[in-house]
Chains A and B, each alone.
Chain A
Amino acid sequence: MYYILLSIIFVPLILAILFYLVNKPQFNSMVFLFQVLQTFFVYVLSRSVIAGESLSYVIGQWPMGIGIELRLDWLSLIFVGMTTLGFWAAYLYCWEEKCRDAKYFFFITFLQGSLVALFLVYDLFSMFILLELVTILGSILITYKKDGYAVKAGLFYLLYNSFGMTIFLVGVIILYISSGSLNMTVAGEIAQGLSQQVHIRFAVACFFVAFSLKSALVPVYTWLPIAHSSAPSSVSALLSGLMVKIGLYGFMRLHGVFSGPFLSQSLMIVGISTALLGVGFAVLQTDIKRILAYHTISQVGLMVVGISSGMEKGMYGGLLHMVNHFAFKTLLFLCAGILITNTGERHIKKIRGVMASNPFLGIAIVIGILGITGAPFFNGSISKYIIKKSVEGTFVTYGLYLVNFGTLVSFIKFGQVLGGPSRYPFSIEWVKSLSIALVATLVLAMFPIGIVMGGRILHGEFFSYYNLLKESGIYLIMAIFGWQFYHRVVDREHPWLKAKATKTLGFQISNAFLIVYFLVVVIFTRYQV
């Protein structure tokens, strides 16, 4: 078992170097064989975790607490499984264009190895190194297109995330000096125990700021629309599906540190304002990939609302929403990539007639849209319902209803690509259609899994038919109202509002937001935690 854990980290890295040295196109098809092997290893590891015991090994057989520890419990297993499935979709999608390009496979296989390692290590400094590595590889992959827009996006992403990681390093240093160990359990306990001291609170503030920068919460979200909309499609899908959730993984690993009343309340405020702001911007955009990028921001806000609610069902709801969001956001980004490649347009009003010319693609887009808006009988509704249940009774529920309404309106706008006569021939190669079929099956399969999870989490109040009918009724009313709202209000041309919404904030303003956010969090945690 120990060797299997080591091999799911190191086999991708060695294979990446082999791809680069052996520069032949025929060798690149080894990536599929390797991915089958990786899936098999993850399956073998998952059997022992599902049986109830979590694996934990120290590299080099040093005593526990001194060496680098690899731990596979249920949280890591969910993320490692998501990584494997996401990379299957990415490899199948980009195979046709890039089968001769050995460097692309070098970078993307290396990224898979580092992501799997990031979700397995259990001490703070290894997490810092792997986070920097993931940032560097992500920015190289964003600029792979060699466009002007892509290079801008990559540079902004790299510099801004490096700033965040430097703040994370400050926190790691202070925790190490106070506790003498870098292990996450030990450091977390010391941080909880000594949380009256000023410098421990400063370290907690540093972690708070760094993780919220990695997952693009308000006010440090400005790197995400630029980066996700200028990257190649398979890389966009990976970024939105996996790498945005690294910050949330950090929040959940150190959740003992973040569960004081003040911090969880402020996290809830940050989460709900992120969700509202994301949806508000998404309704006014006209570029396909930017709509999807702003929706990523808003759904991440929903996950943060779930995690910070202080109740156990909120945590499980947020985690379920992470998996669901990974499934349908990957599907939507891959379909958007096919739309752009076939028509050469990115403006959403100029693409029409998908359902008429390629029903397979049309059905995939419909599944994605119904999933993300939370239609009944799709997986999105279950996780949104659990999150709603966990914040019941506070004013946050109204915010959640507003977010769902906004999501519906903007996806009605997105769904316009389906109608109309076919102007462009949408043709997909069979390998790409395999990847889309894989992710669509995942979306559909999450629904029964979601029902089983929902039953376990909410223990019976989940299955009351009155609540389920009420939720479906609300969805239908919102759909009809949203359609009318879209036609009367949003569809008109508001040039001033559109100019404000599509304007990108610059590097200086983003840094100013980050510094102000950091100082505010430090000053507030000085007085109460």
Chain B
Amino acid sequence: MIEITLSFLIFLIAAYGLIKDTNVVKSIICLNLLQTAVILIFILLTRPSGSSLPIHGFSPTAPVDPLPQALIITAIVIGASITALALMMTVKIFHYYGTLDWQEIIEKEK
């Protein structure tokens, strides 16, 4: 229970980081932290259902649920591909605008 609260605290700190900063690269890192925090919550929530590795016949105690593990690997890979795409767009923005500050980029329109 206390571990889930700690992970949720990481979620809130990363969300605060998205609000406070104005650097594009830091926003993308905070988004990655957010996704890692959610995966931490998932793993800590499915832990009490078992206490050994999800391999058949490995140990006499009940194994942990293997289905969430497949879902989580997919979520990690999706997060990595979004990071790659966002960084590619950041490089282009730097070449056009010379700056990496959200307020200069978005609010100085037309």
Q: Does A506 contact B (CB under 8 A)?
A: yes
For chain B, which range describes its interface: under 10, 10 to 19, 20 to 34, or 35 or more residues?
35 or more
Number of residue pairs spanning A and B whose beta carbons lie under 8 angstroms apart: 90
Contacts of B20 in A (CB 8 A): 508
Q: Are A155 and B74 in contact (CB under 8 A)?
A: no
Q: In whole angstroms, what is the CA distance A143 to B71 when docked?
A: 30
Q: Does B52 contact A (CB under 8 A)?
A: no
Q: Are B81 and A143 in contact (CB under 8 A)?
A: no
Contacts of A143 in B (CB 8 A): 89, 92
Q: In whole angstroms, what is the CA distance A503 to B109 when docked?
A: 8
Contacts of A162 in B (CB 8 A): 31, 82
Contacts of B19 in A (CB 8 A): 508, 511-512, 515
Q: Does B10 contact A (CB under 8 A)?
A: no
Q: Does B38 contact A (CB under 8 A)?
A: yes
Q: Are B89 and A151 in contact (CB under 8 A)?
A: yes
Q: Are A136 and B27 in contact (CB under 8 A)?
A: no
Contacts of A151 in B (CB 8 A): 89, 92-93, 96
Contacts of A128 in B (CB 8 A): 75
Q: In whole angstroms, what is the CA distance A512 to B102 when docked?
A: 14
How close is A145's CB to chain B, nearest CB, in angstroms? Answer: 12
Q: In whole angstroms, what is the CA distance A398 to B6 when docked?
A: 47
Q: In whole angstroms, what is the CA distance A155 to B106 when docked?
A: 10
Q: Does A176 contact B (CB under 8 A)?
A: yes
How close is A314's CB to chain B, nearest CB, in angstroms? Answer: 34
Binary CB contact string for chain A from 148 to 167 against chain B (1 if under 8 A, 0 otherwise)? 11011011101100110010
Contact with B27, one of A132, A154, A507 (Cβ below 8 angstroms): A507
Q: Are A154 and B18 in contact (CB under 8 A)?
A: no
Q: Are B89 and A158 in contact (CB under 8 A)?
A: yes
Q: Are B82 and A132 in contact (CB under 8 A)?
A: yes
Q: Are B102 and A506 in contact (CB under 8 A)?
A: yes
Q: Does A173 contact B (CB under 8 A)?
A: yes
Shortest Cβ distance from A177 into B: residue: B45
Q: Does B64 contact A (CB under 8 A)?
A: no
Contact with A156, one of B71, B81, B106 (Cβ below 8 angstroms): B106
How close is B6's CB to chain A, nearest CB, in angstroms? Answer: 15
Q: In whole angstroms, what is the CA distance A441 to B41 when docked?
A: 51
Q: In whole angstroms, what is the CA distance A76 to B43 when docked?
A: 33
Q: Are A139 and B85 in contact (CB under 8 A)?
A: yes
Contacts of B66 in A (CB 8 A): none
Q: Does A490 contact B (CB under 8 A)?
A: no
Quick one: which of B17-44 are within 8 Å of A by CB? 18-22, 24, 27-28, 31, 34-35, 38, 41-42
Contact with A508, one of B28, B34, B86, B102 (Cβ below 8 angstroms): B102
Q: Are A155 and B90 in contact (CB under 8 A)?
A: yes
Q: Are B15 and A511 in contact (CB under 8 A)?
A: yes
Q: Are B31 and A163 in contact (CB under 8 A)?
A: yes
Q: Does B9 contact A (CB under 8 A)?
A: no
Q: Are B97 and A148 in contact (CB under 8 A)?
A: yes
Q: Does A42 contact B (CB under 8 A)?
A: no
Q: Does A504 contact B (CB under 8 A)?
A: yes
Q: Are A152 and B103 in contact (CB under 8 A)?
A: no
Q: Does B78 contact A (CB under 8 A)?
A: yes
Contacts of B109 in A (CB 8 A): 149, 504
How close is B38's CB to chain A, nearest CB, in angstroms? Answer: 6
Q: Are B106 and A506 in contact (CB under 8 A)?
A: yes
Q: Are A159 and B107 in contact (CB under 8 A)?
A: no
Q: In whole angstroms, what is the CA distance A152 to B24 when docked?
A: 11
Q: Does B53 contact A (CB under 8 A)?
A: no
Contacts of A444 in B (CB 8 A): none
Q: In whole angstroms, what is the CA distance A136 to B79 when docked?
A: 11
Contacts of A515 in B (CB 8 A): 15-16, 19
Q: In whole angstroms, what is the CA distance A62 to B71 when docked?
A: 18
Contact with A159, one of B21, B31, B96 (Cβ below 8 angstroms): B31
Contact with B93, one of A139, A152, A170, A511 (Cβ below 8 angstroms): A152
Contacts of A462 in B (CB 8 A): none
Q: A151-B93, A158-B86, A173-B42 are in contact. List 12 more A-B contacts (CB 8 A).
A: A152-B106, A156-B106, A158-B85, A162-B82, A163-B31, A166-B38, A173-B38, A173-B41, A174-B45, A507-B106, A515-B15, A515-B19
Binding site for B on A (CB under 8 A): 125, 128-129, 132, 136, 139-140, 143, 146, 148-149, 151-152, 154-156, 158-159, 162-163, 166, 169-170, 173-174, 176-177, 226, 502-504, 506-508, 511-512, 515
Complex A-B, nearest 9 residue pairs according to Cβ-Cβ distance, in ascending order? A148-B96, A155-B89, A507-B102, A511-B18, A506-B106, A173-B42, A512-B19, A151-B92, A511-B19
